[in-house]
Structure 1
Amino acid sequence: MAAVNKDDRLTGCQSCLCVGFAGIFSKSVTSPLEVVKILSQVGTYHCKRGFLHSFLLLYRNEGGRSFWKGNSTSCLRLFPYSAIHLATYRKIVHIHMDELGHITQWRAIVAGGLAGIIAALVTYPLEVIETRLVAQNCRESKYKGLLHAFSNIYRTEGFLTLYRGFSLSVLGAVPFSVGCCVVYVNLDKLWQEQHSRFTSMQNFINGCLAAGVAQTLSFPFETVKRKMQAQSSFLPHYGGVDVHFTGMISCFKQVIKTKGVLSLWSGITANTVKIVPYYGLLFSCFEMCKQICLYQNGYIVSPLSYKPKPGVDQSLGPQELQEFRRYLRHRNLQTQNSTMRNRW
């Protein structure tokens, strides 16, 4: 059994802001790796000679700013995605909790997968636009930005184009969840101790390991999805995709036939290299934001440490703590007034 822990000392808005800021910072820092990964999946000319050469070719042809193509769209997608994912995940988990507030690990993973699918459904058009912005040459750009890309795709290709390849997100969630489950089920054997005793470093390593295994298993689905998002007869070179196809099955067949099975994992190197810095920055930034919020809410003595503030009940929620403080101030004020009257 695994307890689903959330810090009740943060408001819902604060939790979303912490996740959003941490996500934006970590995505922006690791954006060059994400760009190279997407270009490798789409199959553009940048990635014909390997992982390291892709950076050099991209810099020569499009300049340094090309490493942040589509980053603003990707960051913008974080806020609605995180909010919807968090709210949906909590509702699903609440349904499957026992009377002690616990849930099995595999049910928590399945809940996370379902919440991810629902959040992806709402924000999927932003992912399609991100892929189009990354795949284009920023010096000869077809799309000038998020809104221009959205209107152009909607006008020339239709609304359903903004959901092209979404079924692969659903299919990819199965091996992704299986990968996470396989890792977490064997964590006790790996560390030879119970989940409840894991340190922050162990949890970080566990997260990176689970992400690496899960993303590797689901990577072929993401590769085909990126190709489907990028391909368009209205773009030069059909959007830069290295194979031409008519649908999901056709894309799988064409990739395997012309490039081989292993090409379904094109970009896996950039993705693997990205995991540690991305999750490291995500974890540290979230903790930093959380400490600032806890300090503002009055639970800790400093935004630089988790040392509890003396006399503060850490089990109280933010609103309850504020109400308790108002009660204490009101009582102190009454005591002072009573003392003054007694003196007179």
Structure 2
Amino acid sequence: MATVKQDDRLTSSQGFMCVGFAGVFSKTVTSPLEVVKIKSQVGTFHCKKGFLHSFLVVYQKEGIRGFWKGNLVSCLRLFPYSAVHLATYKQIVHLHMDELGYVSQWRAIFAGGLAGISAALATYPLEVAETRLIAQNCREPTYRGVVHTLSKIYQTEGLQALYRGFSLTILGAFPFSIGCYAVYINLDKLWREPQFRFTALQNFINGCIAAGVAQTLSYPFETVKRKMQAQNPQLPHYGGADIHFTGMLDCFRQVIRNKGILTLWSGITANMVKIVPYFGLLFSCFEMCKQVCLYRNGYIVSPLSYKLAPGVDQSMGPTEVEEVKRYLKNRKFQSQQGSRW
């Protein structure tokens, strides 16, 4: 679905680098939509008059750099999150494999959900820092940078503030996984062909649909989580949150009672608009980076195309291809030395 396929022709470090570069680039380009989404979830004054008007207010109050608040910490979070997620996912999937190495669809998605929770736990303080940086006014900042944000939250609010709202990540993982599974089991009906025949465009569309459904189902939990992350009596306007609450259940109750149940989906427009460019850039940047690595490994003739290098066994790993190239080079050198004599 919304994942890049593993290619055995890449080394583990190359695969990690390609995913990291693609994630950083796509997050940076779509950062304005993320800023508007999070401000809408928190309930700051920027987003009182709708999706398009929010961009104008942010620009007037904070300038162009206001659209990239928190982007650095969001990009930094990608690398430990991806590493923990991948390692945990492999361990969980391995436990559920049968004798033939098969894992059911539901167990694979369940493993992905647990891996996501583990990765979120490891990187959750960075997510809290991202929310605080986006919620504040960058022209009158309370926090200056990632390190200052984390240290100030810890010093003034304690360690528990860095994990405030984490339980909502766990609760939101269930509807998110259900949404992914519901889309996944119906993809062959949508395209009327088996999944192993899906083209790159079909996989891209599948990823967008799965992300849209899953994020819509889990969105209320994220909205309340963002409000909990942002709220602090020591910040101007109570952190920008549009209601004051004492905990998760009280936040749900007050949002529904004072603002209406649809407020739990505040910012959903920006989130939906973000999905297509985000996954489009993610896939395309990954493929571009992958082509460069495959060219360096000797599998293709140019970093600008996927034309296979003649005579190279594509089933061999990168180290095996390198060994064959060294062997052929040494044999050619020895034959040249022999011809001189």
* TM-score bin (small chain): over 0.9
SS of equivalent residue, structure 1 residue 103: coil
Per the alignment, residue 46 of structure 2 pairs with 46
TM-score, length basis structure 2: 0.96
How far residue 100 of structure 1 moved from its aligned partner, in angstroms, is: 4.4
How far residue 105 of structure 1 moved from its aligned partner, in angstroms, is: 2.0
How far residue 16 of structure 1 moved from its aligned partner, in angstroms, is: 1.0
How far residue 281 of structure 1 moved from its aligned partner, in angstroms, is: 0.5
Partners of 1:306 and 1:97 in 2: CA distance:
33
Per the alignment, residue 32 of structure 2 pairs with 32
SS of equivalent residue, structure 1 residue 141: coil
Partners of 1:293 and 1:92 in 2: CA distance:
29
SS of equivalent residue, structure 1 residue 312: coil
- Deviating more after overlay: 146-155 vs 321-330: 321-330
Per the alignment, residue 270 of structure 2 pairs with 270
How far residue 306 of structure 1 moved from its aligned partner, in angstroms, is: 1.3
What pairs with 1:153-302 in structure 2 (closer than 5 Å)?
153-302=153-302
Partners of 2:220 and 2:177 in 1: CA distance:
15
Q: Structure 1 stretches (4+) deviating beyond 6 angstroms?
A: none
How far residue 148 of structure 1 moved from its aligned partner, in angstroms, is: 0.9
Partners of 2:178 and 2:311 in 1: CA distance:
45
TM-score, length basis structure 1: 0.95
Instruction: Report the AA paired with residue 86 of structure 1.
Output: L
Instruction: Report the AA paired with residue 203 of structure 1.
Output: N
What pairs with 1:330-341 in structure 2 (closer than 5 Å)?
330-340=330-340
What pairs with 1:89-100 in structure 2 (closer than 5 Å)?
89-100=89-100
TM-aligned CA distance change 1:94 to 1:329, over 3 Å: farther
- 2:313 is equivalent to residue 308 of structure 1: no
Instruction: Report the AA paired with residue 260 of structure 2.
Output: G
Partners of 2:315 and 2:90 in 1: CA distance:
20
Question: What is the root-mean-square deviation of aligned Cα atoms in Å?
Answer: 1.4
Instruction: Report the AA paired with residue 336 of structure 2.
Output: Q
Deviations 1:87-146 (A, max 9, x none): 222222233334444422222211111111111111110000000000001111101111
Percent pairwise identity: 73
Partners of 1:5 and 1:240 in 2: CA distance:
40
Partners of 1:231 and 1:5 in 2: CA distance:
39
Instruction: Report the AA paired with residue 271 of structure 1.
Output: N
How far residue 83 of structure 1 moved from its aligned partner, in angstroms, is: 1.6
Deviations 1:43-92 (A, max 9, x none): 00111111111111111111111011101110111111112212222222
How far residue 332 of structure 1 moved from its aligned partner, in angstroms, is: 3.0
Partners of 2:165 and 2:99 in 1: CA distance:
40
SS of equivalent residue, structure 2 residue 77: helix
Number of equivalent positions: 338
Instruction: Report the AA paired with residue 238 of structure 2.
Output: Y
Partners of 1:104 and 1:305 in 2: CA distance:
35
Instruction: Report the AA paired with residue 45 of structure 1.
Output: F
SS of equivalent residue, structure 2 residue 304: coil
SS of equivalent residue, structure 1 residue 79: helix
What pairs with 1:133-172 in structure 2 (closer than 5 Å)?
133-172=133-172
Partners of 2:88 and 2:182 in 1: CA distance:
23
Instruction: Report the AA paired with residue 168 of structure 1.
Output: L
Partners of 1:331 and 1:323 in 2: CA distance:
12
Partners of 2:97 and 2:309 in 1: CA distance:
32
- Deviating more after overlay: 202-211 vs 116-125: 116-125
Partners of 1:49 and 1:193 in 2: CA distance:
44
Partners of 2:5 and 2:76 in 1: CA distance:
27
How far residue 339 of structure 1 moved from its aligned partner, in angstroms, is: 4.0
TM-aligned CA distance change 1:215 to 1:115, over 3 Å: same
Instruction: Report the AA paired with residue 126 of structure 1.
Output: L
Instruction: Report the AA paired with residue 137 of structure 2.
Output: N
- Deviating more after overlay: 45-54 vs 125-134: 45-54
Instruction: Report the AA paired with residue 196 of structure 1.
Output: F
Q: Which runs of 5+ in 1 are unaligned?
A: none
